Structure 1
Amino acid sequence: MTGLIYKITPEAPWRAAEASGVYKGAPIDAADGFIHFSTAAQARETAAKHFAGQTDLLLVAVDAAALGDALKWEPSRGGAMFPHLFASLPMTAVRWAEPLRLDAGGRHVFPDGFA
C-alpha cells in the first residue's frame, strides 16, 4: 500500500527527533518492536482510544512508499490492517507535522483538509 500514513505523538519527543534526523518511536513502539502508524481512516479512532484528553500532540504525515520493505501491514484492532514500521523513521519520509488540539468537548481536532 502507498500514500500517507499517520503517527500521533507528543510534540516534545518529536521535536527532538527532528533535530536528530530520525524518530525511533514512543515507549509503546519500543516495547512492541515497531513504530505504530494509522491510515487516515484509522487516525481518529487511534486518537480517541490511545490519546484521549492529551494535549501537546502532533499528527505526523509520512510517505508510506518512502519506508520500503521495513513497513509491514498487519492485522490489529478489529482485524483491520495497520501500518507498522520495523525500523526507525527517517525524517526524509515525513511530509508534514501539525498540532492535534482538543476542542471544548475534549475531542481532538484534526487539521483542515484531513480525510
Structure 2
Amino acid sequence: MDDQPQLQLFEIKELSPTSLRCTVRCVAGMVRLGATVELRPASGRPVAGDLTVSAIEYAGGVAMEFVDLGRTALVTVTGPIDEVALRTVAAGDGPGQVVTADLRLVVR
C-alpha cells in the first residue's frame, strides 16, 4: 500500500451513507479530483470501496484539482459508505479516534 497515492484521515467532518467529508493529509503520491479510492485502515481490510474524490479544498475554501505529498485539505468522497462499520473502526469521529485508527483513502 505504501506505493499507492493515499490520504490519511485526520477528522471526519460529515458522514452519510453516500458521502464522507474529512480533513486529510497526503502521505503518499498525489490524489486527484475524480480518483477512485477505497477507505481502509493502514493495515487491514477496506471499510468502503469504489468511492470517488468529488471535492478537494485547501485552506480558505480554495477548490483544487489535487492534493500532493505533505499537504492538508478538506476532501469529499462519494459512494456507498457503511456508517456503522466506519464508526466502529474509528471509535467515534473526533481527531484522536480517527488518527489512532490510521484510516486512509487509497487510490485504486
Provide the TM-score with structure 1 as the length reference. 0.33
Provide the TM-score with structure 2 as the length reference. 0.35
More strand by share: 2
More helix by share: 1
